[in-house]
Every structure is written in structure tokens, then in C-alpha cells.
Chains A and B, each alone.
Chain A
Amino acid sequence: MTDPIASTALRATRLGRRFRSGWALRDCDFDLPAGRITALVGPNGAGKSTLFHLATGLLRPTTGEISVFGADPVTAEARDRTAFLAQDKPLYPRFTVDETLRFGRELNRDWDQATAERIVRAGNISLDARVGTLSPGQCTRISLALAFGKRPGLLLLDEPLADLDPLVRIEAMGLVMAEVAERGITVVLSSHVLSELENVCDHVLLLKHGGVRLQGDAQQLCDDHLLLTGRADGSRENGLPPGLDGATVVESTVTGRQVTALLRTDGHPVGASADDRWVTEIPSLEDLLLAYLRSAPAGTATTEAAA
């Protein structure tokens, strides 16, 4: 592997996928850096799962292309380097845990049995247990053991924590982070629970209506935005103070006399108009993502109904 920081793990160019019901993804361009943990965020039907399926070669794009470390996802090269945890975490219910690990060993050229077994044992799961008898949390652990046993360069996790209880959520995410710490794996993680992403992800890809709405380094994105709160300026339609020309209003809400707005400033000062009646804060990642999820797509963003 080349310098993991400098290279791109997942790259999409004009990527689109149409189903019978319409476009699930359209004209998506993004580069996800290697060695990072990317949050894939978006409302239901935004195309998150479609994106995962395209990245693993389970689906082929209708337009454009997607590459994993520069290789087409259906090539052996890309398959060997990618591990995927689908949303429903499919496993063979009639296999024993031992057989499930053997499945990984038989179907992968480069298999790390020691790591896979260590992950299973750390969860106090017997190798002789039938997978069908395990709890959802234990199944997640088995799925992660399969994923890490593959020695992936890129780990794709589609809603990995859904349907897990809070303790197991921390345990599962801790397990992922520990392996990532050891091996510098690139992770793309989708979740509905934004607060869960805040401490985990350092990169963001936000999809909405099948298009890319926001992408970039999480800290940089927070620094590029301002959360503005104050008394609504009655003389102006949106209630915001004048002199915000350098900034884009992502979202603004007027509640009674109060107006709250998220501005994209890209580091530019927001001008002299502001006075101490306005409070500005750097938004948390959760604030930022919520604002983008709620806001209407601006300008050029695609507005087609997504599948």
C-alpha cells in the first residue's frame, strides 16, 4: 500500500444507478481518503445502501464509475481488499461459528484466522455454537470477525449498530475502532444515529436525494460553518442580520423572536454587521449534519425523487 493518508480509498466519478422506480444515485463525485473513518449520512432512500452495493460490486453502476483503491469493485484485486457488513448482517444460520470462520478461510486468499478467532473468543462465543442460535450482538461480532479476518484495506459498514442494545453498540464500535487503530483500515460507516458518529468519524459524505450534498474532513467542515443565534431582524425577510454576503445560509429557522441559522463561511469573516446581540458558535458535527439533512437542497443539487 502506498501512503495511506495521501491515497484515495473509494472514488466515484459521475456515479449513477437507476432502478425501475427511478434514480437511487445520480451524478455522484467523491473521493474518500484512505486511512480515515468516513461517516456516510443521509435520510432513508438517499442511496446509502446502493452506494455500498456499488462499492462492493454487488451492483453495477448505470452511469459513471466507482473504484476501490483504483480498481473496479468486481475485480479480484478490489474484492480482496474490501470487507462489507450488509445492513441485515447476513450469516448462514445453520453453520456453526467454526464453520463460518472456515467459510472466510476457504473463500479468501489471505485469511487471518488468529484475528478472527480472537474477536469471536473476546465475545465469549463458543466455536461450536450454531449461528442461528446467537443474539444479534453476537451475530454482529461474528460478522466483524469475518470482515477483519479478511485483512481488508477498506471496511464498509452499513448501519452496523442498528438493532443492537446500547452496551453492545459500544462494544461493537470499540471492536471496530481497536482493529482500525492497529491496522489503519479505511472505514466507511453509515448510521442513522448521528451522535454515534461524532466521536468516531473524521470524514463526512452526506447524501440526499441520490446526490452528494456535503463531503470533507469533519473538523474542517465544522470550522467552515457557524451557528448563529439571535433576535430576528424584523426588517429582513429571513430575520438574519445584513452583511452575510460572504457566507451561504444552509438553514435558518425563526421561532418567535429568535432566529437560528447555520452558515457556511468557509473561514471567511461574516462581516461588520454583526454585533454582540448575535451569538456565534462553531457547530458540532451533529448540528452540522442535522442542518444539512433538514435543509432544502440548494441551487444545483439534484431534486429528482430518489428510489
Chain B
Amino acid sequence: MKGALWLAWRQQRTLILVGAVVLVACAAWVAFQRADMTAFISDHRIPHCAGWDADECSGLDIEQAQRLLDDNVGALRALGTLSAALPVLIGVFWGAPLLGRELESGTWKLALTQGVSIRRWFATRFTLAAVCAVVGSTVLAALVAWWWSPISNMLNGLYWHDGYIFNATGPAAIACALFGLAAGTAAGLLLRRTLAAMGAVLAFVVGVRILLNTFRSDWISPIALTSRGSAPRPYIGTGWSTGEFGFIDATGHKDAIADACPWGPGLPDLKTCMAQKGYVGRYQKVYPSSDFWVLQWIETAVFLGLAAALIALICVVLRRRAVL
């Protein structure tokens, strides 16, 4: 390795090596667990029963399927937690010291009075960190998806909209890692103290995550699953229920159940109420599992936008040499 890249590698090699060891260990552990799991599935001929009510679920040995889930969901949750927390870890331990430690110890003065420009110095060290963050988060996200796929959205297992899965895999998880790195780097630059920057980036990345989790479903509208007359309500399958269900009248107008036929003593029962109010069917609003990708790409865009804004901020501050 040559020039500024050598310096970036020399300063980040401990992090890179520790990260690589953790990833390899994770991968080996997941490969072992998943091999066990697939062996169990084929031994007991457990079909992939998505939701509770797919066609494949008919011949299901519910006891063995439950054992399969019990054996894997806990560990999968742990891996999902690690993958979901990775952006925070990257922000705190990689981003915050990336410039923060240089400013704190004064070594940026040493580096920037050699032959390399400030742009090159920053670009190499940030790019190396970013490549590592992307590779690391991609590997973890892929491990989560790989392990989860044979038991995805199954019975009372992990569903696509669970935080353990949604936050831990897909393009948004990778974009979030980049965002965490950019946030940590910016915090280090603005606060000039590694420890303060670590605290700030922890609060910031966790805050953004909570915000996005809270408003996750608000970006797009759910679809309505309908059933005619008093036929049983449609199965939601692998969908993500919004909790909203109710009645449809002859004009196709939808009334939530709480407003249309509330429950309670002295009130007419459901069938009577439906007949009285002229409802011809029932509906239920859900996000189908295909929305996983729509929501993933939306959050990916949000994280990449935030990361780009933070990097732009860093470049402006560095360019103006407003670091002293």
C-alpha cells in the first residue's frame, strides 16, 4: 500500500482486523446453525409455511415446526440485533475517532503538513472506512437473510416487518451503516473530542432509527383485503396488519369497525348491525410482504441522503480549514 492509503490502513488496521475476525466467526456460526436447521427441516419434511394459512401449511407437523422455530428464532434475533446495531457500532468506534482522534491529539497537523492535500487525506481514510462499513454490513445483512429465508414469515416466527429482520437486512441496513459512519465522522470533526463524538453519534443514529421505525408504514398506503357478505375475513398471510378492519357498504365505502358497529352491552350483535346498516362485505388493511422492498428502498434513500448531507458538511468544514 502506498501514500495516504498506507496511513489510512495503518491507522484503521486494528478495527479492520477485529471486524474481519468477528464477521468470519459470525459466518462460521451461522453456517453451522443453518446446516443444522436445514437438516432438521428435511428430516422432518417441514414445508415452508408462510403465515399460518398458506397452502403448504396443510400437512404441517405443528409440533416439529414449533421446535424448528424455537431452536432458531432466538439466535436469529441475536444476529439480527448485531446487524441492526452495526451502524451505531461503526459510527461510535470507527466514525467518531476517524477525525475526532486526529483533532484531539493534534496529529492532523502532522498529517496535513506533509505532501498530501487535505482532500486526499480525508478521502482515503473515509473511503477505506466506508468500503469496510459497506462490506461488513453487507455480509451481516446477507447472513441474516440467508439464515432467515427457510423459516421466513412462518407461524409465530420472525416476519419481514419485525425490527430484527427489517433493520438487519436489505439495502437499508447497508445504507444505514454508511450513514452511521458519516454521522460519527461529522461528530468527531465538529466536536473535536472522540468521547463526546461517540456519545453524540450514539444518540443521533439511535434517534434516527427510532424515528424511522415509528413512521415506517406511513410512507405508503396499505391495501385492503375484502370478503363478501359474512364470509370469513380474508387471511392476511405474510402481510403486516395495520390493525384497521371494518365493513364495506354497497357503494364500496369503508367504515372502521369501531365507528360502524361498536361492541358493548345493549348494542346489537355484529350480524344484526351489518344488516341494519346495509354492509355487504368486510375488509382488513395490511401491507403485503412485497412492500418490504418498497419500504427498504425508501429508507435506503433516507439514509443515503443523510449520509450525503453529512459528507458535504464535512467537506465544507475541511475546505474552509475551520477545524482549529
Contact = CB atoms under 8 A, between A and B. Distances in A.
9 contacts: A56-B112, A57-B321, A58-B324, A59-B324, A95-B10, A106-B3, A106-B4, A106-B7, A107-B4
Given A103-B7, A107-B115, A84 B109 contact: yes
B214 interface: no
Interface string B107-125: 1111111111110000000
B106 A86 contact: yes
A207 B258 CA distance: 80
B127 interface: no
Interface string A66-100: 00000000101001101110101011110100010
B253 interface: no
B109 A107 contact: no
A95 B105 CA distance: 14
Nearest to A103: B7
A83 B320 contact: no
Given A57-B321, A58-B324, A106-B2, A91 B114 contact: no
B106 A107 contact: no
Contacts of B6: 102, 106
A79 B112 CA distance: 9
Given A60-B321, A90-B105, A108 B114 contact: yes
A130 B10 CA distance: 14
Interface of B: 2-4, 6-7, 10-11, 105-118, 320-321, 323-324
A76 to B, nearest CB: 7
Interface of A: 53, 56-60, 74, 76, 79-80, 82-84, 86, 88, 90-93, 95, 99, 102-104, 106-109, 146, 150
Nearest to B4: A107
A92 B11 contact: yes
A76 B109 contact: no
Question: For B4, B10, B115, which residue has the most chain A Cβ atoms within 10 angstroms?
Answer: B115
B106 A90 contact: yes
A84 B110 CA distance: 8
B107 A80 contact: no
A107 B111 contact: yes
Contacts of B113: 56-58, 79, 82-84
Given A92-B11, A106-B7, A107-B4, A58 B112 contact: yes
Nearest to A93: B105
A91 B107 contact: yes
B115 A76 contact: yes
Contact of B324 (A53, A79, A84): A53
Given A53-B324, A60-B320, A106-B3, A86 B115 contact: no
A80 B11 contact: no
A169 B109 CA distance: 23
